[in-house]
Amino acid sequence: MKTNRFLNFFIAAVWIANGLFCKVLDLVPRHQEIVARILGEGYARELTVLIGCLEIAMAIWILSGIRARWCATVQLVVIVTMNTLEFILVPDLLLWGKLNALFAFLFTLLIYSNAFHIDKKLVQQT
């Protein structure tokens, strides 16, 4: 299995785990608390489910391979935006507090490398 393909499955799995298990199935209530604190209590559950569904859609997009670099760019923008907001507004609700920013950075580095460097090298080898 090519490295790029394995990384695509891994990255998609992260989106599915966060979207389906943490948000849609509400197995990690902290996610809804984050949404409530940032966007308000009124529709926190509905917005959390919507965000979870969008994360699942992101995983499907990743696995489809369609416009992979656009997909990676969208992921990078979403992760940086989401984690910046959480870092500033709700660091007390994050699993590792402000250290979450480090894990977000490492994940974005993986996505960037996978889409713009590893993928390019694999194409050149064939």
Residue 125 in this model has a pLDDT that exceeds 50:
no
Dump pLDDT digits (tens) for 53-83. 999 999 999 999 999 999 999 999 999 999 9
Q: Does the model's pTM come out above 0.95?
A: no
Residue 123 in this model has a pLDDT that exceeds 80:
no
For the chain, the three-class secondary structure string (H helix, E strand, C coil) is: CCHHHHHHHHHHHHHHHHHHHHHHCCCCCHHHHHHHHHHCCCCHHHHHHHHHHHHHHHHHHHHHCCCHHHHHHHHHHHHHHHHHHHHHHCHHHCCCHHHHHHHHHHHHHHHHHHHHHHHHHHHHHC
